[in-house]
Structure 1
Amino acid sequence: MINVRSCLVFAFDLLAVLVAWVGAYLIRFNLNWPRTVHQDMVYGVLILLVVQLIACRWAGLYRGMWSFASLPDLRRLVRAVAVSLVAVLALALFGKSWLLIPRSVVVLYPLLLLVVMGGGRIAWRLWRESRLSPVSDAERRPVVVVGAGTAGAMLVRELARSPQWQVVALVDDDRHKRGLELSGCRVEGATVDLPGVLRRHQARHVVLAMPSAPAEALQAVTRLATKAGATLFTIPGLAELMSGRVAINVMRPVKIEDLLGRKSVRIDNDNVKAMLHGKRILVTGAGGSIGSELCRQLSRFQPESIVLLEASEFALYMIEQWFGEHQPDLPIVRLAGDVKDPARMAQVFALHRPQVVFHAAAYKHVPLMEIGNAWQAVRNNIAGTLTVAQAARDANAERFVLISTDKAVNPTNVMGATKRVAEMVCEVMQNGPGTTRFHIVRFGNVLGSTGSVIPKFQSQIAQGGPVTVTHPEINRYFMSIPEAAQLVLQAAAMGQGGEIFVLDMGQPVRIADLARNMIRLSGFTESEIQIEYTGLRPGEKLYEELLADAEETLPTPHEKLRIARPRPVPEGLYEALTVWLAQPPQEDAVVRAGLKRWVPEYQPRNPG
């Protein structure tokens, strides 16, 4: 079937040869029609038409679409014209006996040919783009782009075709770019000039086109945009753009994770895959924030099966639904169960024989565990860990990984003290009989986890405030849930047994600053949504720590993981714990005294 468009393009290029050839002669003879070279012109153009046909096919000129003519098409065009130039030179040098070509025509013809062929393509693209954007500038929303680098240039070019957005200006802190233009859009100042640029163009939207910008720069732009009453968007990171997974114009609102400046994690996929591929895996607390993300990450490494153990029916249902939608071919086992139930744990291990166990089930909310629930925290966090660890050892599981917390370091609350004892349980298990390797991974708060401060702030902002912060100076370490889960897998893959892996949590974040940033990202100012300080809660301390005073760390091959060396576990811990955990429920004060016995650095604070 004949392609009409290809035929038209081919005809245009042949016409371009005729126009360029005749035009070169007209220029040569001062726009007077030459009377003596008719035969030479005809012979020459016939030969060049054949040459042009061959040259354009050889150069691949008809692979590109005129509507998207770009630099690769220009390079093909130059190659085709270069062939025509060589042909004209050959005719001028070796065809003197039967064909006379003026020297000026040898120079003028390829130049005119390049102008006609290239100009036609550019004109067609401009016409097509004007047709593809039927929306007038008045109907498009004005937007200011922050960043006039490569990403900014790509974004401006893409948004030029958008029916929704119109880039009216750019700002950039590089003074050498001031006053210059990108695709017709002028760089009108530095980042600090953003409010004035927005007012000048009556724009209400800002796009940050700096995928590698540090968190400080993003925070500064957020403050300026909020002050001007504008909404801030950002573009995908360079890794996503280079991989082709997303386009430059896929903009999204700036999230709190962006402002915290957590860099993407790179893990040794080969080692992790060697640990997980084809293995039977058990995740306790599989429906929780960390447990569910662990399950999602684990599914990437083609395990034989994943046993999902969860006490909450709804949480178990939600993670089951995720697998049904995203990993329908991966065998999963959905089990409701309590890690404190030895009979249920023995049954799970006997039936499914997991080879790798990730123990993420725990009570983790500090104030809730502090008053009236201390004994339940002991049973869930200590007895639950002991029960699952014993079952893993008895079933000869290869690895057992405990998800711990920074609150286990110099704890001031029941939750942190119970997690420290859980760590000690794993250390005892590592030194006991059996071949199971026990690892501990300790990290701080994860963004958006159940019961964390970020969902709470989001809810308070949605209700119009105030946003409640316990203390102006309180700070915490934060990382994203996927980052935490990936580092857990990396730590498990490199562990030899008995280590306490400490994740690099970066710099601590003041909770008050976190609240301010969330208010700004929601489009409000602090005068509209106020911050209210309520005082420290029971068991809460101002500063979290990742290492106790007596601990040291050793480096690992991964830059974001170190190994802590805690003080030795007291003699007789296992036997004493077994006796203690078998007792009936105890009052909070008795529980604290018991924890203090095993964790001398535990200093209860504001127990309530």
Structure 2
Amino acid sequence: MLKLFRINRGRFYQVLIDAGLILFSLVTAYALTEKDGCFTQIHVRRLLFAAPFFLGIKLVINAAFRIYRQLWRYIGIRDAVNIFKAVSLSDLALMAFFFSVKGRIFSPVMFALDWVLCLGFFSGVRLLRRYQMMKKIESRRVPVAKKKVLLYGAGSGGELILRRIQSEPSIKMMPVGFIDDDPEKMGAVLHGVEVLGGVEKTKEMIGRFHVEEILITSPTMPATRIEQVSQIAKNEQISIKIAPSFYGMFQGGTESSVAREIDVQDLLGRNPVVPNVAFLEKNLNGKRFLVTGGCGSIGKELVKQIARYGPGKIIVVDVNETGIFWLDYELSRILSRDRYVLYLCDVRNIGKLKKIVDRERPEVIYHAAAYKHVPISAQNPSEYVSTNVLGTKNVIDLAQRKDFIKKFCLVSTDKAVNPVNVMGVTKRMAELLVLRETPNREDKKITFVRFGNVLGSRGSVVPLFKDMIEKGGPVKVTHPDVERYFMDLQEAVHLVLQAPFFTGNGAAFILDMGTPVKIQDLARLAIRLSGLEKEGIRIEYTGLRPGEKITEELYDPRYERWDKTDFEKIAALTAIRVVPEISDKQFEKVNSFALAGDDESVYRWLKEFFPQISVF
């Protein structure tokens, strides 16, 4: 009740201040447009007659535009636009009223002047309040040492980063200037920080301002430019960082929300796809989600991103006890306990899985539970079949039987295309289980998403390279011609999140991942970023492993058709022909072998349907 009173009292004072400004603007505008002044009896009568109308109409229209719900200390562009609309509409309404009812007792010039005065006074008093609060906050800050930072990029990303630095006292950075290659921005000032010149001026500005760090303000900066600036920073012996991706900017008031270390993916020359936030907000808000494998790299990121869009509830299933412990810790910081639940459960355990689904009643399922390492799959085919195939079948069967489940999305891999190893074969079989359920019912969508290697996921090649470099090398690469498609972890998750909500009967979706990257080029980038090039760290070629391809494929044009969607760089896959054709009895047969731990029988079965698979 006390809180409500404070809010009402604050709004009352806002109305009172605006009422005074409205009357002052009316009297001033009238006085300036009347040659004989405004204090004769006739003029006073006019003003007394007009005052209630000016007050009533202006205050009502202001309220209609939610002017009195604004927090003055945070006034921004959108608030100013609303003030502009309200003042314009109210003066037009008053002019129409007085011209039609009382004739021209006020001139059009008076209304124009009143519009200017009200707009200036309303905006000015609010900006003054914001300035007052800003100075008050600054006066309370404890002086701390801040490193001098040169910002590279004075575009929208640079403006956002600068504003974040200036508003968060915990970010110990002091921007001394911008570097930008757009000649039209030279000498411009952005929030008090000047654009000092192009990239050729970087070295000079580092010396002049005693810069300690360069911050690249756009994570989508061309790779060649990032490398150029990185080399300057290296030569000048100062650190260099880059702004985080879209979601990284919501990490609270910490330095990690504006800066991170430059990583290999920043130099791959591939711009990540920006998430369609409006689409995600519309489709994720308020729904109940089940994420299997929620403690893995992709599963965990799925859970964290869903949490940002106001879900009804997130249900996580995983076999990793330690992973569940830490995920619970992370989620408890961003969601209330009634908004998520974590279950220790194997997707092969259909009994427990069914009880969880019946209890929690999810509407959307993201199936990320899977084994994924190619070399390990060769020695453990039973485990890969029972988890990647039987586990997927269990979840799909539940999704089809339960009416409250409306969407299902399987996370797949490019290794499922013409697979030559056990892991790829089991993921292809999981895709076949999805394809058997299409075309989808009107009230239910069963789909899968296929993409390449995910940078930042567990066991990905970049962390392995970093470990090898830290240990002095060599960096081991299987073959000089091996190349792979790469994408960022968050980019992969954005695709997965959106896929079940795409319209149409497409059974699968893939990302246009551009040109594949040679693994040896990735290794060279990792060595260069480490700053240990001169230490003589070499690349050693170990030869292709069983079940490894030189090049992976995103789809097979013999059996699949690639169609564009309404979303940038996202394509729909339509199966022209399902290959290979596997009956229900055959699926049951291989699953029974797998559950019995009969690796040899499993392998013989796989070899029958996928003769290209490597020798066990």
- TM tier, shorter chain? 0.5 to 0.7
Q: Which residue identity is paired with 1:578?
A: E
Q: Which residue of 1 aligns with 2:396?
A: 389
C-alpha spacing 1:333/1:153, structure 2 compared with 1 (3 Å): closer
3-state SS in 2 of match to 1:582? helix
Identity over aligned residues, as a percent?
35
Q: Does the 8 Å CA contact 1:466/1:532 hold for their aligned counterparts? A: yes
494, 504, 516: which is aligned to 2:502? Answer: 494
Question: Map of 1:349-498 to 2, 5 A cutoff?
Answer: 349-370=357-378, 372-396=379-403, 397-430=405-438, 436-497=444-505
Aligned-pair Cα RMSD in Å: 4.6
Q: Does the 8 Å CA contact 1:146/1:207 hold for their aligned counterparts? A: yes
Q: Which residue of 1 aligns with 2:592?
A: 582
Separation in 2 of the partners of 1:357 and 1:399?
6
Q: Does the 8 Å CA contact 1:403/1:440 hold for their aligned counterparts? A: yes
C-alpha spacing 1:153/1:536, structure 2 compared with 1 (3 Å): same
Q: Which residue of 2 aligns with 1:292?
A: 300
Q: Does the 8 Å CA contact 2:273/2:569 hold for their aligned counterparts? A: no
Separation in 1 of the partners of 2:178 and 2:441?
66
CA-CA distance at 1:375 after TM superposition: 2.2
Structure 1 residue 315 corresponds to structure 2 residue 323? yes
CA-CA distance at 1:478 after TM superposition: 2.1
Q: Which residue of 1 aligns with 2:583?
A: 573
Q: Which residue of 2 aligns with 1:273?
A: 282
Q: Which residue identity is paired with 1:389?
A: I
Q: Does the 8 Å CA contact 1:283/1:306 hold for their aligned counterparts? A: yes
Q: Which residue identity is paired with 1:293?
A: E
Q: Which residue of 1 aligns with 2:517?
A: 509
Separation in 2 of the partners of 1:152 and 1:271?
25
For residues 449-471 of structure 1, the C-alpha deviation after alignment (integer angstroms, 9 at most, x for no partner) is: 11112222233333343333323
Question: Map of 1:529-568 to 2, 5 A cutoff?
Answer: 529-550=537-558, 551-566=560-575, 567-568=577-578
Separation in 2 of the partners of 1:354 and 1:148?
45
Structure 1 residue 342 corresponds to structure 2 residue 359? no
CA-CA distance at 1:402 after TM superposition: 0.7
CA-CA distance at 1:266 after TM superposition: 2.5
C-alpha spacing 1:436/1:467, structure 2 compared with 1 (3 Å): same
C-alpha spacing 1:394/1:512, structure 2 compared with 1 (3 Å): same
Separation in 1 of the partners of 2:503 and 2:411?
14
Q: Which residue identity is paired with 1:388?
A: V
Question: Map of 1:104-253 to 2, 5 A cutoff?
Answer: 146=152, 191=199, 205-209=213-217, 213-226=221-234, 229-235=237-243, 252-253=259-260
Separation in 2 of the partners of 1:556 and 1:186?
40
For residues 216-248 of structure 1, the C-alpha deviation after alignment (integer angstroms, 9 at most, x for no partner) is: 32133334444554422234679999x998799
C-alpha spacing 1:361/1:497, structure 2 compared with 1 (3 Å): farther
Separation in 1 of the partners of 2:289 and 2:195?
56
Q: Taking CA–CA contacts closer than 8 Å with sequence separation of 6 or more, which of the two structures ends up with the larger relative contact order?
A: 1
3-state SS in 2 of match to 1:438? strand
Q: Does the 8 Å CA contact 2:164/2:258 hold for their aligned counterparts? A: no
C-alpha spacing 1:207/1:337, structure 2 compared with 1 (3 Å): closer
Q: Which residue of 2 aligns with 1:304?
A: 312
3-state SS in 2 of match to 1:325? coil
C-alpha spacing 1:398/1:254, structure 2 compared with 1 (3 Å): same
C-alpha spacing 1:527/1:133, structure 2 compared with 1 (3 Å): farther
C-alpha spacing 1:364/1:235, structure 2 compared with 1 (3 Å): closer
Q: Does the 8 Å CA contact 1:394/1:434 hold for their aligned counterparts? A: no
Separation in 2 of the partners of 1:156 and 1:299?
27
Q: Which residue of 2 aligns with 1:255?
A: 262
Q: Does the 8 Å CA contact 1:235/1:248 hold for their aligned counterparts? A: no
Separation in 2 of the partners of 1:300 and 1:598?
43
CA-CA distance at 1:358 after TM superposition: 1.2
3-state SS in 2 of match to 1:286? coil
Q: Does the 8 Å CA contact 1:519/1:529 hold for their aligned counterparts? A: yes
Separation in 1 of the partners of 2:220 and 2:460?
27
C-alpha spacing 1:472/1:229, structure 2 compared with 1 (3 Å): farther
C-alpha spacing 1:173/1:531, structure 2 compared with 1 (3 Å): farther
Separation in 2 of the partners of 1:238 and 1:312?
29
The answer to which of 171-180 and 492-501 deviates more is: 171-180
Q: Does the 8 Å CA contact 1:438/1:497 hold for their aligned counterparts? A: no
Separation in 2 of the partners of 1:268 and 1:249?
22
TM-score, scaled to structure 1: 0.65
3-state SS in 2 of match to 1:484? helix
TM-score, scaled to structure 2: 0.64
Q: Which residue of 2 aligns with 1:104?
A: none
C-alpha spacing 1:468/1:228, structure 2 compared with 1 (3 Å): farther
Q: Which residue of 2 aligns with 1:61?
A: none
Question: Map of 1:33-52 to 2, 5 A cutoff?
Answer: none
CA-CA distance at 1:520 after TM superposition: 3.5
Q: Which residue of 1 aligns with 2:128?
A: none
Q: Does the 8 Å CA contact 2:180/2:195 hold for their aligned counterparts? A: no
Q: Which residue identity is paired with 1:447?
A: L
Q: Which residue identity is paired with 1:576?
A: Q
Q: Does the 8 Å CA contact 2:347/2:395 hold for their aligned counterparts? A: yes
The structure with more radius of gyration: 1
3-state SS in 1 of match to 2:307? helix
3-state SS in 1 of match to 2:333? helix
For residues 319-376 of structure 1, the C-alpha deviation after alignment (integer angstroms, 9 at most, x for no partner) is: 2222211112543222111111222223223333332211110000111112x11221
Q: Which residue of 1 aligns with 2:56?
A: none
Separation in 2 of the partners of 1:249 and 1:277?
27
Q: Which residue identity is paired with 1:233?
A: K
CA-CA distance at 1:149 after TM superposition: 7.1
The answer to which of 258-267 and 542-551 deviates more is: 258-267
Separation in 2 of the partners of 1:159 and 1:389?
47
Q: Does the 8 Å CA contact 1:192/1:224 hold for their aligned counterparts? A: no
CA-CA distance at 1:485 after TM superposition: 1.6
The answer to which of 173-182 and 206-215 deviates more is: 173-182
Separation in 1 of the partners of 2:313 and 2:381?
35
Q: Which residue of 2 aligns with 1:595?
A: 606
Q: Does the 8 Å CA contact 2:146/2:172 hold for their aligned counterparts? A: yes
C-alpha spacing 1:301/1:562, structure 2 compared with 1 (3 Å): same
Separation in 1 of the partners of 2:320 and 2:532?
36
Q: Which residue identity is paired with 2:282?
A: K
Unaligned runs of 5+ in 2: 1-71, 74-79, 81-138
Separation in 2 of the partners of 1:486 and 1:410?
26
Separation in 2 of the partners of 1:313 and 1:537?
32
CA-CA distance at 1:169 after TM superposition: 8.8
Q: Which residue identity is paired with 1:467?
A: V
